[in-house]
Chain A
Amino acid sequence: MNPFQYQRAADIAGAIQSMRPGCKFLAGGTNLVDLMKNGVEKPAALIDLNRVAMSAIEPLPEGGLRLGAMARNSDTANHPAVRQNYPLLAQAILSGASPQLRNLASNGGNLLQRTRCPYFMDAAFPQCNKRAPGTGCGAIDGLHRNHAIFGASDECIAVHPSDLCVALAALEASVRVRGRNGERRIPIGDFHRLPGSTPELDTNLKPDELILSIDLPSSPYAAHSHYLKVRDRASYEFALVSVAAALELEDGAIRSARIVLGGVALKPWRVAAAEQALIGKPPGSAWFEKAGQEAVAGARPLRQNAFKVDLVRRGVARALGNAGGLA
């Protein structure tokens, strides 16, 4: 691991003031420390947030729930307000990693976790535009079984590994951040970037900005939601494909729907056309299968990952069936 300066931040203002180019905030460290061991991340300094009071989970005055950036994944998933009002989020968090990792990992850190593409994770590979811009993409002509089928570019075909973020996208969360120029909110859909010609940038967070909280609006989806995760082993594994599905039912018809995919793009991939296809329809397998077909429109698989198209099509139908209580 490269040497770095270590600084304990006492509060939010101090943490933001300490931030300099080339430095990183340190939260749980489950991703950052790992990447520092691999030589992928080489921060000049770490600003430790572990003593900063940002771990509260509390109701918002206008309804909804505020999740502190430093609240741990495990505490978030098992908070009574999350389990009762946002079970989709609890389910997504509990599907990821392991209990001991979720005890360390923070909510803010989950948003900022980096791709698990092996060409990115292992600095021994010469090619990775995300790790070393301009070197090319090792995965396009290499191993890409678990890479993107949506929103990729010629520069990068990596996927975002988070489960939590997929649920946040379905719940239309917003990310509250603060930098030297003040505070702003970033809708979760605008938080992560697609690779385009700048795959080295994962998010639209500015270098001096600190994530304070993730704010959830009140949700009509608590009664009918499901997080489906399809993976190579039953636990402690990243998704090949995941689906966050949520239905709002009224008088036997679907009033609104949310369908977001994980494991298929460099950001949670919301499929608005599939959601629209369900509005006003009765919940049932025929319409859920139609939504699955809508969800794969525009998929561009590569040689090794065409199977993900089928997984998405059928996964969407199955997740909707579970959400609607029809499974």
Chain B
Amino acid sequence: MDGDMTRREYVSILGGTVGSAALGVPLAADIAPAAAGADAVPLTVHINGSEQRLAIDPRMTLLDLLRERLDLTGTKKGCDHGQCGACTVLVNGRRINSCLSLAVCHDGDQVTSIEGLAQGGELQAIQAAFIEHDGFQCGYCTPGQICSAVALLAEVRHGDASFVTPGLQRLRPVELTDDEIRERMSGNICRCGAYPGIVAAVQTAARESGSATRTKGKPR
């Protein structure tokens, strides 16, 4: 690739407008003409700690706002229908699918995307653990996986149960077995199948952050 051209610029020149049609995924650019039109809605939202005052087309999802308007392309568009989890970001500390949430619903919210996790060039423990355990191959689902894992650790610290947590009636600390991690990460699909590395990365980060003790789950 020539000079300072980013991968994104290269792809956009190469594919032009045909790219989105060929992928079968509508890019936000397809609806961009109305973005600054008469129906634009004012929105103030805090993205990775910085306040953004915007006027946007109400059809724009939070995902498209991040990628197409703010050039925060770390968050990925996989299915655009809430079935893959590639678009997972944190809103007020909670993980959501940004593809199914209209940006206008987030007035005043604090949004954290993958770009906002590292502090001062220092990776978060879960980011380092993904590298240590090869929790990815192609990397496309990874930003969503990592944002999801950050929230998972917070949910476990909070004592939230999952479908595989035994004895829902007993409110007690979560024992973070491999089964628990698989269930809690099930909203993030990895088509490379890096799941064993992802489970190991979450276990490592949980241990380092003191979220839970490591326990071996039942083999499946």
A3-B34, A51-B107, A94-B165 given; 11 more Cβ-contact pairs under 8 Å: A6-B39, A6-B58, A29-B100, A34-B82, A84-B169, A91-B163, A94-B162, A97-B187, A104-B96, A222-B169, A235-B182
Which residues of the partner chain A approach B169 to less than 8 Å between Cβ atoms?
83-84, 87, 222
Which residues of the partner chain A approach B184 to less than 8 Å between Cβ atoms?
99
Which residues of the partner chain B approach A74 to less than 8 Å between Cβ atoms?
94, 160
Q: Determine whether A197 belongs to the interface, using a CB cutoff of 8 Å to chain B.
A: no
B96→A103 contact, CB < 8 A: yes
Q: Determine whether B118 belongs to the interface, using a CB cutoff of 8 Å to chain A.
A: no
Question: Which residue numbers of B lie inside 8 Å of A, CB to CB?
Answer: 26, 31, 34, 39, 41, 58-59, 61, 80-82, 85, 88, 94-97, 100-102, 104-105, 107, 148, 151-152, 155, 158-163, 165, 168-169, 171, 182-184, 186-188
In whole angstroms, what is the CA distance A219 to B1 when docked? Answer: 66
Q: Which one of A46, A83, A97, A99 contacts B58 once the chains associate, using CB atoms below 8 Å?
A: A46
Q: Which one of A1, A5, A98 contacts B186 once the chains associate, using CB atoms below 8 Å?
A: A98
B161→A94 contact, CB < 8 A: yes
Question: Which residue numbers of A lie inside 8 Å of B, CB to CB?
Answer: 1, 3-6, 8, 26, 28-30, 33-34, 37, 46, 48, 50-51, 74, 77-78, 80, 83-84, 87, 90-91, 94-95, 97-101, 103-104, 222, 235-236
Which residues of the partner chain A approach B155 to less than 8 Å between Cβ atoms?
99
Closest to B98 in A: A100
A48→B104 contact, CB < 8 A: yes
8 closest A-B pairs by beta carbon, nearest first, are: A98-B187, A6-B58, A235-B186, A94-B163, A236-B186, A100-B95, A87-B168, A1-B59
Number of A-B contacts (CB under 8 A): 110
A90→B102 contact, CB < 8 A: no
In whole angstroms, what is the CA distance A17 to B216 when docked? Answer: 55
B95→A83 contact, CB < 8 A: no
Which residues of the partner chain A approach B148 to less than 8 Å between Cβ atoms?
99-100
Q: Which one of B61, B97, B105, B165 contacts A48 once the chains associate, using CB atoms below 8 Å?
A: B105
In whole angstroms, what is the CA distance A222 to B168 when docked? Answer: 11
Shortest CB-to-CB span from B97 to chain A, Å, is 5
Closest to B94 in A: A103
Q: List 27 A-B contacts (CB under 8 A).
A: A5-B58, A6-B39, A6-B41, A6-B58, A6-B104, A8-B104, A28-B101, A34-B100, A37-B26, A37-B81, A46-B102, A48-B104, A48-B105, A74-B94, A78-B159, A78-B161, A83-B168, A83-B171, A91-B163, A94-B168, A98-B186, A100-B151, A101-B82, A101-B187, A103-B96, A222-B169, A236-B187
Which residues of the partner chain B approach A5 to less than 8 Å between Cβ atoms?
39, 58
Shortest CB-to-CB span from A184 to chain B, Å, is 28
Which residues of the partner chain A approach B34 to less than 8 Å between Cβ atoms?
3
Shortest CB-to-CB span from A5 to chain B, Å, is 7
Closest to A2 in B: B59
Shortest CB-to-CB span from B141 to chain A, Å, is 13
Q: Which one of A33, A95, A101 contacts B61 once the chains associate, using CB atoms below 8 Å?
A: A33
Which residues of the partner chain B approach A34 to less than 8 Å between Cβ atoms?
81-82, 100
